Amino acid sequence: MSSREVFPDEELRRRIMDFIMAAGQTLLENGAEVFRVEQTMEIMARSFHLREFHVYVLTNGIFASAGTAEISEVRNVPTRTTHLGRVAAVNALSREIAEGSMSLDEAESRLVLARRIPFPKNWVQLVSGMCGAFCFALIFGGTLRSALAAALAGFLASGYLLLCEQHELPGGFCKISCAALITLVCILACRVLGTPASHSIIGSLMILTPGIAFTMGIRDFVHGDYLSGTIRMIDALLIAASIAIGTGLVLSLYTFFTGVVVA
């Protein structure tokens, strides 16, 4: 039976619905905007002749129905990462479906491949964290020695975050402890190198800042999705607060035990 039938039967409609929900979940959990997830799912439903399709997407869930509500699904999306390669693959898939050049069987196979696109290797993430911290320290006015201290902290912080991800530790704890680790490493490294630690700390902490979450929240507000925008903004503020707590804790303890204010 063709998946492009103008009036698909109930079994085929449910299969199409499952595929569309899986595609939307892939987009949402890999960093796509809420309005883009809704738009892509609607395009797929229209292309496969799934009538009366309605979808509502939040930052951590998808609600959809089709027909006269005889088909409805809810997907919980508790985990959100950033993998633009998967997002681009699903977007390319939706365009091919809209052109009418792909059957449901082919689309399902392509979606499986898109979901399996791997993350960058660990060494790439380690080097990226090191280079990012190094460059940010220079941008904020640090010296070469400050940037080298920041690079060391960025490298260790990236490795620590990878360990937290492998052990599935809570996000708040990871951010607080990682910020504390960065601050401690920068203070010690800058003492050895004989340079102020402030630029190193600021540059290293930049790799933790929730820039994507904050930007996505603003975009959701602009598109009129105030609930999703609020959720993303709260998420960004909580991450920022976690960074401040971890950094402030180490700075306070260092000053308390040594009597030296970090400059």
Neighbours of 203 (CB within 10 A): 29
Q: What is the pLDDT of residue 3?
A: 54
> Within its chain, how far is the Cα of 60 from the centroid?
12
Kindly report the backbone phi and psi dihedral angles of residue 89, in degrees, each rounded to the nearest multiple of 5, phi listed first. Answer: -65, -40
Q: What is the pLDDT of residue 88?
A: 96
> Within its chain, how far is the Cα of 238 from the centroid?
15
Q: What is the pLDDT of residue 224?
A: 83
Average pLDDT, integer, range 91-113: 93
The DSSP string of 193-227 is HTS-SHHHHHHHHTTTS-HHHHHHHHHHHHTT-HH
Average pLDDT, integer, range 214-232: 86
Locate the DSSP E strands across the chain.
Answer: 54-58, 61-66, 71-76
Q: How far is CA 138 from CA 134, 218, 244, in A?
A: 7, 28, 21
Token readout for 107 is 């689309």
Q: What is the pLDDT of residue 147?
A: 96
Q: Cα dihedral angle (132, 134, 139, 143), rounded to 10 degrees?
A: 180
H runs (alpha helix) in the chain: 10-29, 34-47, 84-98, 104-115, 122-139, 144-166, 171-193, 198-205, 211-222, 226-258
Average pLDDT, integer, range 93-118: 93
Q: What is the pLDDT of residue 133?
A: 96
Q: What is the pLDDT of residue 223?
A: 82
Question: Does residue 69 surpass a pLDDT of 80?
Answer: no
Q: What is the pLDDT of residue 1?
A: 44
- Residue pLDDT, tens place only, 10-64: 888 999 999 999 999 999 999 898 999 999 999 999 999 898 899 999 988 999 9
Provide the percentage of residues in the chain whose pLDDT is more than 70. Answer: 96
Token pair 């492009």: residue: 4
Token pair 């630029």: residue: 199
Q: What is the pLDDT of residue 248?
A: 95
User: Contact 178/165 with Cβ under 8 angstroms?
Assistant: no
> Within its chain, how far is the Cα of 155 from the centroid?
20
Output the average pLDDT for the chain: 91
Question: Does residue 205 surpass a pLDDT of 70?
Answer: yes
Calpha distance 31→193 (Å, rounded) = 39
- Residue pLDDT, tens place only, 166-185: 898 888 999 999 999 999 99
Q: Which residues pair with 55 in a beta bridge?
A: 64
User: Contact 116/26 with Cβ under 8 angstroms?
Assistant: no
